[in-house]
Amino acid sequence: MTEATRAHARTAGLKWRPPVLAVVLAVIGIIALVLGILYLADGSSLPGFLIAGSSEVGHGHHVLRGIAGLVVAAVVLPFGWQIGWTRARIAADSGEWPAVPAGRKIANMWYWIACCIALALVVGPALWLVGGVLARAVPHWQWSVITTDTLGDTGGLKQAILGTLLITLGVLIIGGTISILTGLYLAELASGRLRTVLRSGYEILSGIPSIVLGLVGYLVLVSVTGLGWRYGLMPAVLVLSVIVIPYITKATETSLLQVPTSYREGADALGIPPAWTLRRIVFKSALPGIVTGLLVATAISVGETAPLLYTAGWSDFTPTLQLTGQPVAFLTYPVFSFFDLPVEGAKILAYDAALLLLVFVLLVIIVGRVIVAWSRRHAE
């Protein structure tokens, strides 16, 4: 770069002014960010016209407006920064590179707008859900809800927590075992038309609504016209196992098929038995994908409501290992049933159950990430 070019760049940099659009977007983004934080924090310090329509401070409308403000700030501020940064680069350009065409700038801007809108559509509902649950559950939270039994529509959620854990454990044992063996058979042993039929079967099964499977479970397992088991742990576990089998089977089959063929060929060339190769080499390499499928199954079994209404029922008693003839409590029941009751204590229990479900799923995700990271480290 010559001295004249450097002087041109310095002069252009001194003459550069921030574009009006970037300044306007920055101001709008900062205002939205501040209002969003104030709405989520308290809202009582805002002017009256900003809190009109939401008389309960810190609830409902304030949470929604706060999340909306944060989303607007997250969308607007990056655009303002991008426009200002692009103009600054153009102003300081030494002239060695051609200027970016205006059409390309517009297309790039619309691309980023579309990306941010898509991100907001994905993240926004999740933030709204989590924020709404936290805003309603945290102010009334008491740790005794974990150790206290439910008495009618008051008390705690002890038996619901224990029932959810028992049902989830049963689903992982029964549904997980059947699904992993099925995926193993499809990936390593099945061939031709049989593989196609089995794969089509579990894909069709994944499209059946869970409430339909719950109704079938009630008619076959619970009702006196069927097996007559009545409400209990076994009908709930069997129906949920049928629901999660397609997901774990697909994850297992896909993970096993993604293991390089060279692993199997190398083991065969060394004279290693096929069973040992499958157990110690192939299965170990596919373990992260299989664990991901089990996590999906756990999240599904924790969050289901309709099938459990047909098979598990509800009970105020602490669940036992009796498989049939004794209803089992579960966490999604208070969320579904207690929310509309006129008793304030019942609504608080519904919010507490929703919070416990969020925490449970978060813990499952964290544990799964740790297991996947460990298995990937030792997979090779």
Amino acid at 64: L
Query: CA 335 to CA 203: how far, in whole Å?
Result: 30
Cβ atoms of residues 324 and 232 within 8 Å: yes
Give the model's pLDDT for residue 48: 53
Structure tokens at 240: 């949920």
The beta-carbon contacts of 209-214 under 8 Å, at least 24 apart in sequence, are 210/243, 210/304, 210/306, 210/307, 211/306, 211/307, 211/310, 213/239, 213/242, 213/243, 213/307, 214/239, 214/306, 214/307, 214/308, 214/309, 214/310, 214/311
Q: How far apart are CA 225 and CA 6, in angstroms?
A: 90
Residue that has been written with the tokens 């019942």 in this structure: 346
- Whether 67 and 160 map to the same domain: the answer is no
Residues 169 and 95 in one domain: no
pLDDT score at 229: 85
Domain boundary among 114, 140, 166: 140
Q: How far apart are the first and last CA of the chain?
A: 50
Global pTM value:
0.67
Closest listed residue to residue 174, CA positions, set 118, 244, 110: 244
CA–CA distance, 240 with 123 (Å, rounded to integer): 28
- Parallel, antiparallel, or unpaired for β 154-155 and 150-151? antiparallel
The CATH number that applies at residue 220 is 1.10.3720.10
Q: How many domains does the chain have?
A: 2
| 166 vs 189: CA distance, rounded Å | 33
Within 10 A of 307 (CB to CB), how many other CB atoms are there? Answer: 26
| Same-domain check for residues 152 and 132 | no
Domain carrying residue 129: 3-140
pLDDT tens string, the chain, 380 residues long: the values are 455 545 444 444 444 556 666 777 777 878 877 777 777 665 555 555 455 444 444 455 666 677 777 777 777 777 777 777 676 666 655 555 566 676 677 778 788 888 878 888 888 787 888 877 888 888 888 888 888 877 777 777 888 888 888 888 888 899 889 988 888 888 888 777 888 888 888 888 888 888 888 898 889 888 888 788 888 888 989 999 998 888 888 888 888 888 887 877 787 888 888 778 887 778 888 888 888 888 888 888 888 888 888 888 888 777 888 888 788 888 888 888 887 777 777 888 888 888 888 888 888 888 877 877 777 676 55
CB 133 within 8 A of CB 362: no
Rounded to an integer, what is the distance from CA 165 to the centroid of its chain? 19
Q: Are residues 119 and 18 in the same domain?
A: yes
Question: In the prediction, which pLDDT does 57 show?
Answer: 44
Domain final residue, candidates 112, 140, 168: 140
- One domain for residues 215 and 336: yes
Predicted local distance difference test score (pLDDT) of residue 8: 47
Say whether both 226 and 174 belong to one domain: yes
> Does residue 34 sit in the same domain as residue 66?
yes
